[in-house]
A and B are shown apart, each in its own frame.
Chain A
Amino acid sequence: MSIDSAGYGTLIIILIMAVVTLVTRLGGVFVMSFVPINYRVQQFISAMSGSVLVALLAPLALNGDNGARLALLTTGVVMLVLKKPLPAIAAGVVAAAVFRHL
């Protein structure tokens, strides 16, 4: 099933995204108020939450240009050293920009 992205279709697509995201925002609290999440489920969720990000990044690192790879590498290293996200992200973006101007 597909929705035309013309006219009201765009609105419907955005509303679908908003509702799905809302479910994720409220769902954790809602579920916890009924079902005590046991240790195994907790471990599953916490492993999955990092894995979502890794799974998003892996193709980006593999298929990206060297500027993209250098950006990720720089962000990773700066984050490990400083443990602060803002400088790490800034350094990664600057690294990509500088590399692509060389």
Chain B
Amino acid sequence: MLSGDKSSVELNWNEVWGGFKQLLPISLFVVVFGVAFGLAAAQTGLDDSASLLMSALVFAGASQFAALDLWGAQVPVVPLIVTVFAINARHLLMGATLYPWLRELPTAKRYGVMLVISDANWAMSMQAFNSGKSGIGLILGGGIALWAAWVLGSWLGVYFGSDIKDPVSLGLDMVMGCFLLAMVVGGQKNLRMLVIWSVAAASSLLAHRYLPENSHVVVGALAGGVLGAVWMEKKK
């Protein structure tokens, strides 16, 4: 997987449409997640248009929920930047892992498709690339499907969310947590990763308790990352 096969890297509209359709089922779920965000944003006191603008421009659910946690009459800038960066830092890894294939594209397209990268279309495109198929359509088409679903869901949540009488009793507050956990569990599992995750969890809990608010994600992620850099996997 270290070098991209040129024939598997194309960008044509058939393929983008195919990617769009392949990500539609997951997008339906993203609508629900978007509703939860729109509702939470409205309850936090964001303007309707601000909530939609945030979903359209940021398009990164977990970091948007985290921003709501920081929301108040005054929003602290440095914690906001650190939090959003830390939560979305995984995009850096996605970009790096896709690079062997993306470098076959002209610069504008290479960065263009990355505008809509997110967990689901990244995972599916990596699978396609690794089995010798083109995943560019999955990134762009799938990304567009996910983005549209996210904005649509946010809109539904903002305008109709208050019709949901008690989102907590419906379990909707757990949508994000379950989504993130599914991502964790769906990833690589071995003793090394379990130890890394335990250290990350323990560091996060300690930071949550003893360090400034919202530092726990950064502290936990760095602790896990440092352990991963010290205790390296054997090269295959």
Contact = CB atoms under 8 A, between A and B. Distances in A.
Contacts of B53: 11, 14
B57 A48 contact: no
A67 B174 CA distance: 9
Main secondary structure of the interface of B (DSSP, over half): helix
Interface in A1-46: 1-6, 9-11, 13-18, 20-33, 37, 39-46
A100 to B, nearest CB: 5
Contacts of A88: 178, 182, 185
B99 A32 contact: yes
A16 to B, nearest CB: 7
A54 B71 contact: no
B110 interface: yes
A64 B181 CA distance: 15
A8 to B, nearest CB: 11
Contact of B184 (A10, A54, A86): A54
B191 interface: no
B95 A25 contact: yes
Contact of B96 (A32, A55, A60, A76): A32
Interface residues of A, number: 77
A14 B102 CA distance: 29
Interface string A71-96: 11011100110010110111011111
B9 to A, nearest CB: 14
A40 to B, nearest CB: 5
Interface of B: 25-26, 29, 46-47, 50, 53-54, 57-60, 62-64, 67, 71-78, 80-81, 84-99, 102-103, 110-111, 114-115, 117, 168-175, 177-188, 193, 196-197, 199-205, 208, 216-229, 232-233, 235
Given A24-B92, A44-B225, 19 more contacts: A2-B76, A3-B75, A9-B75, A18-B57, A21-B88, A26-B114, A29-B96, A32-B99, A50-B224, A52-B89, A53-B181, A57-B177, A57-B181, A59-B205, A59-B216, A75-B181, A75-B185, A86-B29, A96-B174
